[in-house]
Amino acid sequence: MSKETPGRAGHAVQWDGSNPVGRLNDDASLAAQSIEAHIESLDSEMQVQVWDAGDWLGGSLYSSEQAAEYGITAGTSDEMLEEIAREIEDDAKHEGVDVLENIVEYCQELRQHLIDEAE
């Protein structure tokens, strides 16, 4: 039985004894490096900044201080969380972030942490 599974052109998956590990051949590796170099050479105005809300906000998830900063309490309604999320997204856009992902979910998790703390 072979320990290598063929993948797409230039790619194969090998079992390393405990996990499947993807490997690129030389041609595919050069192509990936070429694509990366091209992206890095683009004018920054042509690039799109995409951040996960938790990463962009830089807070630790379940931070009571961060929840307080945004006015999130254990009793904050879903509608209010969506409004807070829109405000945070607006702030992000003013700082050059094009897409801020998972912001409503992040706000919901902050609220849930406060609910759990109160119990």
DSSP E strands, the chain = 4-6, 11-15, 20-24, 50-52, 99-101
Per-residue confidence (pLDDT) for residue 1, from 0 to 100: 37
Same domain? For 53 and 77 the reply is yes
One domain, residues 61 and 33: no
- pLDDT classification of 61: cutoffs 50, 70, 90: low
- The range of the structural domain enclosing residue 100 comes to 48-119
User: 106 and 75 in one domain?
Assistant: yes
Q: What's the pLDDT tens digit per position in 62-117?
A: 578 888 889 999 999 999 999 999 999 999 988 888 888 999 999 999 999 899 98
pTM, two decimals, is 0.60
Say how far apart CA 89 and CA 70 lie, in whole Å.
12
Report how many domains make up the chain: 2
Cα dihedral across residues 97, 100, 104, 106: positive or negative: negative
Taking the mean position of all CA atoms in its chain, how far away is CA 31? Answer: 25
- Mean pLDDT in residue range 20-46: 84
> Does 107 lie in the same domain as 58?
yes
Q: Which residue among 12, 27, 42 closes a domain?
A: 42
Q: Looking at the structure, tell me whether residues 32 and 68 fall in a common domain.
A: no
For residues 34 and 64, membership in a common domain is answered with: no
Highest mean pLDDT pick, 10-19, 35-44, 53-62, 80-89? 80-89
The tokens describing 105, both together, are: 């979910």
